[in-house]
Structure 1
Amino acid sequence: MINTIIFDLGAVLIDWNPDYMYRSIFADEQEMRHFLTNVATSDWNEEQDAGRSLQDGTEWLVAKHPHHEENIRAFYGRWIEMLGDAFEGTVEIFKELRESGKYKIYALTNWSAETFPMAQQKFDFLNWFDGVVVSGEEKMRKPAPEFYQILLDRYNVNPAESLFIDDNYRNILAAEKMGINCIHFTTSDKLKEELLAIDIL
């Protein structure tokens, strides 16, 4: 019986995309794609999610790509411009689950400890959780089993009685190996269908 719901945040509840900011810098879409694929990569950003400071991450990348310095410094200098809107359909599901009183609801997110407070200021629902585990604060990230274990231990969660919702299939596979029930998130409507099918909603 499920008594705990664990949400990922980015691309599930919150729309975050570097394109939003970099489109104001790059006039050419192909140049922007090249920069985000080969310079300010998702792997590089994930190191900050895993606890490396924004300053250290920025200086490391500038040293590697000095001719891109201005655009690299914009990544965290203008990071707030990468935050889009909330996915209202998922927020409504979250609200319904919370108001039912049947579940403890947590967030397990790969997010820099330095940028997460900016998201908290923008999105009030980030204060609704019974607990939030942020990778940048813990110095580890999904899909490391130890990161999931922090949440399970901290909040005394039984994996078999929990349900994890994440858009990244890599993270889903890691959670399933730990005995956590999972839903691979694609859209809010599909999530609602799947939760109704298992009597969670």
Structure 2
Amino acid sequence: MTNAEIRHIVFDIGKVLIHYDPHIPFSRMIPDDTERQWFFANVCTHDWNMEQDRGRDWREAEDLLISAHPVHADNIRAFRKHWHEMVPHAYVESVSIMESLIAKGYDVTLLTNFASDTFKEALKLFPFLTLPRGVTVSAEARLIKPDLEIYRTHAENFGLDPSVTLFIDDSAANVEGARAAGWHAVQFTDPQTLQADLLAYGVTV
């Protein structure tokens, strides 16, 4: 239990509210598991994709990789082209928790590492993302979790008191970043654990 009186609750989006898995479309384009793992480890890597979350344009990102890996040009372009397949569904129970918190009067916002254009696409696919009071999108802020400045920027823009703010993210590094900014934070693993974590902070769903 904690003595904190939580007033602000900040949700991450990917792997907390919506599913994300780039292997879904690429299992069709690169059926061999070993080849596909190599592609993600050496071509369309996590670090490469994170730069789009930081604000880099997709065309620039594609051109950069194609110049280094011309034989993989089609699959490199396929990453953005088939992005919508990578987010096939929402986590219904997590969304229900978020909606319940909003209904109970908690101040709910979103803080997400997301490319600007794919976030606009996500809003169309998942309208519940418009329910919180607002969102900080990393690509638009030109900042990215777990950099300390993105938490400070979010708190300043939305008038959050860090000492009564609780952050929910699937990434341990992002959770630690929030704590370094003076927030309370929990790592999301599943909706049941999240409910227990919220209750530990005196927040009932």
Common fold: TM-score over 0.5: yes
Aligned to 2:103: 99
Alpha-carbon separation, structure 1, partners of 2:41 and 2:191 = 28
Aligned to 1:170: 173
Q: Does 1:115 pair with 2:91? A: no
Q: Does 1:151 pair with 2:154? A: yes
Deviations 1:71-90 (A, max 9, x none): 00000012111112101110
Q: Does 1:16 pair with 2:20? A: yes
Calculate the aligned-residue CA RMSD, in Å.
0.8
Alpha-carbon separation, structure 2, partners of 1:66 and 1:133 = 35
1:1-201 correspondence to structure 2 within 5 Å: 1-101=5-105, 103-201=106-204
| Contact map agreement 1:167 1:184 (CA 8 A) in 2 | yes
Q: What SS does structure 2 have at the residue aligned with 1:24?
A: helix
TM-score of the aligned structures, taking structure 2 as reference length: 0.95
Q: What SS does structure 1 have at the residue aligned with 2:88?
A: strand
Alpha-carbon separation, structure 2, partners of 1:46 and 1:166 = 16
Alpha-carbon separation, structure 1, partners of 2:142 and 2:175 = 20
Alpha-carbon separation, structure 2, partners of 1:24 and 1:168 = 27
| Contact map agreement 2:6 2:201 (CA 8 A) in 1 | no
Alpha-carbon separation, structure 1, partners of 2:175 and 2:145 = 9
The aligned length equals: 200
In structure 2, list runs of 5 or more residues that go unmatched. none
Deviations 1:7-44 (A, max 9, x none): 00000001011011101101211111111111100100
**Residue 197 (structure 1) shift:** 2.7
| Contact map agreement 1:54 1:114 (CA 8 A) in 2 | no
**Residue 195 (structure 1) shift:** 1.1
| Contact map agreement 1:14 1:85 (CA 8 A) in 2 | yes
Alpha-carbon separation, structure 1, partners of 2:28 and 2:86 = 11
**Residue 138 (structure 1) shift:** 1.0
TM-score of the aligned structures, taking structure 1 as reference length: 0.97
User: Hey, which of these two has a bigger chunk of strand by percent?
Assistant: 1
Write the letter of the residue equivalent to 2:89. D
| Contact map agreement 2:55 2:142 (CA 8 A) in 1 | yes
Q: Give aligned-pair identity as a percent.
A: 37
Deviations 1:70-110 (A, max 9, x none): 10000001211111210111011101101111x11000000
Alpha-carbon separation, structure 1, partners of 2:174 and 2:186 = 11
Write the letter of the residue equivalent to 1:172. V
Deviations 1:35-70 (A, max 9, x none): 111110010000000000011111111111111111
